[in-house]
Amino acid sequence: MSQRAPVKISLIGLDRVSGSVGLALRERKDLRLIGFDRDNDMARLAQQRGLVAEAKWNLIEAVDGADLVLLGGPLTDQREWLKAFATELREQAVVASLGPLLVPPLTWAGEFLPPDRHFVAAHPLLNPALLYDGGVGIEAARADLFANGLWALAAAPECAPEALKLLSDLATLLGAQPYFMDAVEHDGLMGGVDALPALAALALLRAANASPGWHEMRKAADRGFATATFALTNLDSSTLTLNREAVLRYLDALLAELHHLRDLLATDDVLTLNQLIAEAAAQRAQWAGERARGEWEKQEQPALNVPTFGESLSRMFVGGLFRREKKA
């Protein structure tokens, strides 16, 4: 008689996203979660909180025998880690990046991964109920971080369909909707909705801090200032430099809008200014409602036979790429 070996998932780079994956999966007896971070204290904290069953202090040991490797942390770290362990992975292992850009990780996978390993780039988008909670870092990991959100997915050209299905099923298990996108299109859009808010926050804080009145101004700064500068709390500069063309395009558009608003103020064109504010407020309200409900236009998706939330991992890992048995 034989029984299946637990599926080994290695979480490399322990942050809020990867930690939340671990928290959501930790009760499953058919999985074994291993964690690694360059900060040993962070890895130890993840183990103490039960986000991983075991923390490793050596990267190669952490991915040894792994069925699925999930890369978190800054993009530059992801590249370094992928390069270091690529040839150490077992055959048919699946690696997935978890981050705001898809093109750079896919490019690195093409450079470093042997042909018998598989790579998917994933961008997990948060539970809409948590958009304003202000949590950062592994301490803010939550099992429901992805509920009612989206996971944007893009696979390397040579990636086996089973590997893409694996990440699609994982997103479904975590309560998110898998959303298959062209990587270049995705990163182009991220220039406007990820990089631009971060740059605006950076400029705002620098301008305020450079003001002679900052000493008193900081006492009066309230919700508007706090929310407008929040993007700085977890800003990874590589998301700007690795997506430079898209970021510059949206930055030019923002500068043009700011110049237009300046002209309206300078000429005291209150009527036009009020009209623009009303239009923008309505547009934001519409977006916020759609984001909360997850009511997006239907996208034609690949036929991957994605299971329901209740079916999840038991089907996801025991067949296809990961059919392995051990003697009892």
pLDDT tens digit sequence for 5-20 = 788 999 999 999 999 9
Distance of CA 256 to the CA centre of its chain: 30
Tokens at 239, concatenated = 């998301």
Once rounded to an integer, what is the mean pLDDT over residues 160-177? 92
- Establish if 1 belongs to a structural domain: no
Return the CATH number at 52.
3.40.50.720
Note the helical H segments in 128-180. 161-173
**Calpha distance 306→88 (Å, rounded):** 30
Do 309 and 252 have their domain in common? no
Q: What is the per-residue pLDDT for 310?
A: 35
Whether 308 shows a pLDDT value over 60: the answer reads: no
Note if the pTM is more than 0.85.
yes
Do 288 and 198 have their domain in common? yes
Note the helical H segments in the chain. 16-25, 40-48, 59-63, 75-85, 103-112, 161-173, 183-190, 196-210, 214-220, 223-228, 238-241, 244-266, 270-293, 312-318
DSSP conformational letter for 29: T
Do 122 and 135 have their domain in common? yes
Tally the domains of the chain: 2
Query: Can you say whether residue 65 is alpha, beta or left, with left for phi > 0 and alpha for psi between -120 and 50 degrees?
Result: left
Do 165 and 200 have their domain in common? no
Q: How confident is the model at residue 222 (pLDDT cuts 50, 70, 90)?
A: very high
Q: What is the per-residue pLDDT for 296?
A: 73
Do 16 and 64 have their domain in common? yes
Do 146 and 202 have their domain in common? no
Tokens at 21, concatenated = 């994956």
- Establish if 260 belongs to a structural domain: yes
Do 172 and 317 have their domain in common? yes
- Establish if 136 belongs to a structural domain: yes
Tokens at 206, concatenated = 């620098």
Beta-carbon contacts of 187 under 8 Å, excluding residues fewer than 6 positions away, are 101, 102, 103, 243, 246
Do 194 and 63 have their domain in common? no
Do 289 and 175 have their domain in common? no
Do 83 and 230 have their domain in common? no
Do 61 and 37 have their domain in common? yes
Do 150 and 110 have their domain in common? yes
Return the CATH number at 197.
1.10.3660.10
- Establish if 2 belongs to a structural domain: no
- Establish if 242 belongs to a structural domain: yes
The residue range of the domain holding 53 is: 7-181+300-327
C-alpha atoms less than 13 angstroms from C-alpha of 305 in its C-beta half-sphere = 5
